[in-house]
Amino acid sequence: MVLNSAAAASGRKKAHFTSSWCAVYAMNHAPAEGHRRSIEYLSPSESVTYGIRVVFAVLFAPLLYTRSLRVLPNPFKTRWAVLCLPVALVCVAGAFAWLKGEDAPAVSRVDEIRDRGALVMLTRSGASSYFTGAQGDTGPEYELAQQFAEHLGVDIEVRVADAFTDLEHLLEAGEGDLIAANLTRTPSRELKFRFGPAYADTHTQVVVRCGIRKPRKLADLAGLQGAVVAGTSYEEQLLAASAEQPELNWSSRNDAGMEDLLLAVDEGRIDYTLVDERIFLVNSQFYPNVREAFDLGPAEPLAWAFARDDDDSLVQQAELFMRHARADGVLAAIDERFFRPRQKLNQVGMLRFVERVRERLPPWLPLFQEVAEEHDLDWRLLAAMAYQESHWDPAAVSPTGVRGLMMLTLNTANQMGLSNREDPLQSIRGGAGYLVYLRDKLPERIAEPDRTYFALAAYNLGFGSLEDARVLTERLGGNPDRWADVEKHLPLLAKEPYHSTLRYGYARGHEAQQYVRNIGRFYDTLVWMDTRAHPLLASRMMAAP
């Protein structure tokens, strides 16, 4: 409290108070006659000024006492000074703290992430989200989140949960920054989380085992046994459907993921399940006995989920990043890489491949592994190449004279220093060495996995014709360093208006296009069977010498 002595002339003393407590005290203890004071409350900055004056007046009473508080009657001075000292100190400290708080804004979530140096991504393991491939951590959600982390200027850190409900609990507990797990934005989830912008749309599909009469609507599922992953939008959809179709027979599974249920359908342990069309697109090749039946409901947006709180800094950054990712072709490139359907083998062809994995691959498995280690390659890539070339037949011979497991020409064998193309180990070494040779000839700016795709195309087509395809791609407005662009133009090498303008002329580019697609499909299947220990493979692969 500081008294305004300028008001003394009016006979009414005006007092300024920094707190209501001081005001009440002064009103209750002022003399009854001639000393009732009007009350004015001060701003925080004025409170600091007046509070300091009071503190100094009391602390240095011998020098300042009468001058600073001379307007107070003598009986009031001593009692007021003593009682006001602690209150004044509290007022001053509080005012400084308030002013400091005004000057130091709260740290945002983005600032916390940058201070930490890592964006923590919550996800589940699977082909549509996150997995470990030949080049390390990968997957569509991982690749997109990694680029978002780069946008923020930090690293990416991954936490994998076993169930969707676990992801929700981790985010609510602050154990991660976002859920990136092929998550559909549903009304019930929007009550729990904030969602970023949609990066794709998807349909929920009902898939059934081959051999069952294809259902076309929910009512056709009556009499069949189904299952869905607990805590997912699939469960919500079937719960809603069961209200109108009570005869539906299905269960929720806490102990299984989406791919586990696809395997259960494939093996006949259940008749149907629900799956995101994108998930089925990348997994259908692994389950030859599963087929799509019908879409359930309209398309739904896929988006990242964030904690629902007052800090929207991370969501705003995600919106900015997604706008750039869409405009720059990042989203399209990820879709192309992970969700573009490969040339689909029919059911018979896929079953034949799986059977040959069991019967033909085991004797050559140690050789593929040995040579892959020598050249720093993935043995599954070499095995996929050999299957495409010879179906793992070391005595295979083509009408054009190429032969052996890797179907090498005589010129290539001589270039690689081979003496016998039909010797399995020499053939694998020659094929691996030639693939690395072609890959190393490519411009350094071409990154993986496109670099390997180009090398495979050159293995089949010849390096000169591959360069023609890249030149043609650039002429037609595409990116000659991007496999998705070049692949589309490969068939044009067989068309006279195009090949007549190129250095190496006519080439069967459509065959190279199919060659790379097939190897990609075989490779994907081998990776899946190897890492997940598929029952068709595990017994033989693990017993291989």
Give a yes or no: residue 457 inside a domain: yes
Cβ contact 466:445 at 8 Å: no
pLDDT at 135: 52
Query: For 403, which DSSP code?
Result: B
Is residue 435, in this structure, part of any structural domain at all?
yes
The pLDDT score that the predictor gives to residue 62 is 46
Of the two residues 3 and 300, the one the predictor is more confident about is 300
Average the pLDDT over each of 150-164, 273-287, 364-378, 408-422 and give the range with the smallest value: 273-287
CATH of residue 204's domain is 3.40.190.10
* Domain end residue (candidates: 302, 329, 356): 302
Range from 63-67, 207-211, 469-473 that averages highest in pLDDT = 469-473
Average pLDDT over residues 123-139: 73
Q: What is the 3-state secondary structure (H, E, C) of 189-218?
A: HHCCEEECCCCEEEEEEEEEECCCCCCCCH
Residues 284 and 351 in one domain: no
Read off the pLDDT of each residue in 394-403 and give the average, rounded to a whole number. 83
State whether 279 and 370 are in the same domain: no
Residue 25: predicted pLDDT: 40
148 part of a folded domain:
no
Go through 330-360 and write b for each residue having 16 or more CB atoms within 10 A of its CB, e for each that does not.
bbeebeeebbeebeebeeeebeebbeebeeb
Residue 73 has pLDDT above 60, yes or no: no
Judged by DSSP in three states, 409 sits in coil
Tokens of 110: 């983005």
- Is residue 389 among the annotated active site residues? yes
Domain boundary among 49, 70, 103: 103
Catalytic one of 235, 389, 467, 487 = 389
Residues 247 and 393 in one domain: no
Predicted confidence (pLDDT) per residue in 305-339, tens digit = 999 988 999 999 999 999 999 998 899 888 877 77
User: What are φ and ψ of residue 14, in 5° steps?
Assistant: -100, 130
In this structure, the strands spanning 38-41 and 118-123 are unpaired
146 located within any domain: no
Q: Indicate whether 167 pLDDT > 70.
A: yes
Percent of the chain with pLDDT over 70: 75
Closest CA to 545 of 354, 365, 379: 365
- Is there a domain that residue 116 lies in? no
28 pLDDT tier (thresholds 50, 70, 90): very low
Is the pLDDT at 27 greater than 60? The verdict is: no
Whether residue 419 is found in the same domain as residue 509: yes
Least confident range from 105-109, 159-163, 437-441, 532-536: namely 532-536
Residues 6 or more apart from 403 whose CB is under 8 A from it?
Answer: 395, 396, 397, 421, 422
Please indicate, yes or no, whether residues 471 and 403 belong to a single structural domain of this protein. Answer: yes
3-state secondary structure of 524: helix
CA distance 228 to 254: 9
What CATH code is carried by the domain that includes residue 462?
1.10.530.10
Residue 371 and residue 247 share a domain: no
Radius of gyration (C-alpha) of the chain in whole angstroms? 37
For the stretch 448-507, pLDDT in tens is 989 999 999 999 988 999 999 999 999 999 999 999 999 999 989 877 788 889 888 878
Of the candidates 234, 269, 302, which is a domain's last residue?
302
- Total domain count for the chain? 3
Are 297 and 211 in a shared domain? Answer: yes
Whole-angstrom distance, CA of residue 405 vs CA of residue 387: 8
Which pLDDT band, with edges at 50, 70 and 90, does 10 fall under?
very low
Q: Map tokens 């990820």 to a residue.
A: 334
Which CA distances in Å does 248 have to 219, 237, 239, 243, 295?
A: 8, 12, 10, 10, 17
For the cut 80, the answer to whether the pLDDT of residue 44 exceeds it is no
Examine residue 156 and state whether it is found in any structural domain, yes or no.
Answer: no
Q: Is the same domain home to 356 and 503?
A: yes
Is residue 160 within 8 A of residue 125, CB to CB? The reply is yes
Question: Is the domain of 381 the same as that of 447?
Answer: yes
Q: What is the pLDDT of residue 529?
A: 80
pLDDT tens figures, 46-56 = 555 555 565 55
Q: Do 265 and 357 reside in the same domain of the chain?
A: no
Name the token pair of 359.
């019967």
CA torsion, points 185, 187, 192, 196, in degrees to nearest 10?
30
The model's pLDDT over 232-273, given as tens digits with 9 standing for 90+, comes to 889 888 998 888 888 999 999 987 778 789 889 988 999 999
Q: At what angle do helices 313-327 and 330-339 cross, to 10 degrees?
A: 80
Task: Please state the pTM of the whole predicted model.
Answer: 0.55
Asked if the model's pLDDT at residue 71 lies above 50, the reply is no
Residues 291 and 398 grouped into a single domain: no
3-state secondary structure of 399: coil
Please report the pLDDT score of residue 399 as a whole number: 64
- The reported pLDDT for the residue numbered 64 is 45
Tokens coding 137: 């951590």
pLDDT in tens, 410-448: 889 999 999 999 999 999 999 999 999 999 999 999 999
pLDDT digits (tens, 9 = 90+) for 345-358: 556 677 788 889 98
Q: What is the pLDDT of residues 84-99, one digit of tens each?
A: 555 555 555 555 555 5
Residues 410 and 525 in one domain: yes
Grade residue 34 by pLDDT with cuts at 50, 70 and 90.
very low
> Which secondary-structure segment (H or E) carries 444?
none
Between these two residues, 532 and 84, which has the higher pLDDT value? Answer: 532
Q: What is the pLDDT of residue 77?
A: 46
- Domain range for 385 is 347-541
**Contact (Cβ atoms closer than 8 angstroms) between residue 413 and residue 407:** no
322 within a domain of the structure (yes/no) = no
163 within a domain of the structure (yes/no): no
Does residue 527 or residue 344 have the better pLDDT? 527
